[in-house]
């Protein structure tokens, strides 16, 4: 079984990442494997996300607090998740509980 790797993002420097990070750790992510960004989701370049995607290996699971923390748009989100599946990497959104590619019930 692979690692659980987390990604957290807030849009401004005034916002805190603590809620997301705490939730990711409760889901089993090691704090050293929680990648973070403090930038608008609309930005095409997010260093934390890029680092996170580079670290993921087949068998790992990417966990986010909510879908809107990951994708810039619906099409970007779909492309990201499809690329994870192609790489044999699971995906789970904590707050959007029905979205979990690591369980048999996620296959339609």
Domain presence at residue 21? yes
CA distance 84 to 101: 10
Q: What is the mean pLDDT of residues 89-94?
A: 93
Position with higher pLDDT, 100 vs 46: 46
Is 73 annotated as catalytic?
no
Report the alpha-carbon distance of residue 87 to residue 20 in Å, rounded: 25
108 domain residue, yes or no: no
Residue 107 has pLDDT above 50, yes or no: no
CA 84/CA 11 separation, integer angstroms: 24
Among 11, 75, 83, 106, the one annotated catalytic: 11
* Residue 10 within a domain: yes
Owning domain of residue 39: 4-102
User: Does any domain span residue 55?
Assistant: yes
Q: Tell me if 63 is assigned to some domain.
A: yes
Q: Give the residue carrying structure tokens 């044999």.
A: 88
Q: Is residue 11 part of a domain?
A: yes
Q: Which residues contact 48 (CB under 8 A, 6 or more apart)?
A: 7, 8, 9, 35, 36, 37
Please state the pTM of the whole predicted model. 0.85
Instruction: From 19, 16, 15, 28, select the one nearest 6 (Cα to Cα).
Output: 28
What's the domain count of the chain? 1
Mean pLDDT within 39-47: 70
> In residues, how long is the chain?
108
Mean pLDDT confidence for 42-70: 89
């Amino acid at each position: 079984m692979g690692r659980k790797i987390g990604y957290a993002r807030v849009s401004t420097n005034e916002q805190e990442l603590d809620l997301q990070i705490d939730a990711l750790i409760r889901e089993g992510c090691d704090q050293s494997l929680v990648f973070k960004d403090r930038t608008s989701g609309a930005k095409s370049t997010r260093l934390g996300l890029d680092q996170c995607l580079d670290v993921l290996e087949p068998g790992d699971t990417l966990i986010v607090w909510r879908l809107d923390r990951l994708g810039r748009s619906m099409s970007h989100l779909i492309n990201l998740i499809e690329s994870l599946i192609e790489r044999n990497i699971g995906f789970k959104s904590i707050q959007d509980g029905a979205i979990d590619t690591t369980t048999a019930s996620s296959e339609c």
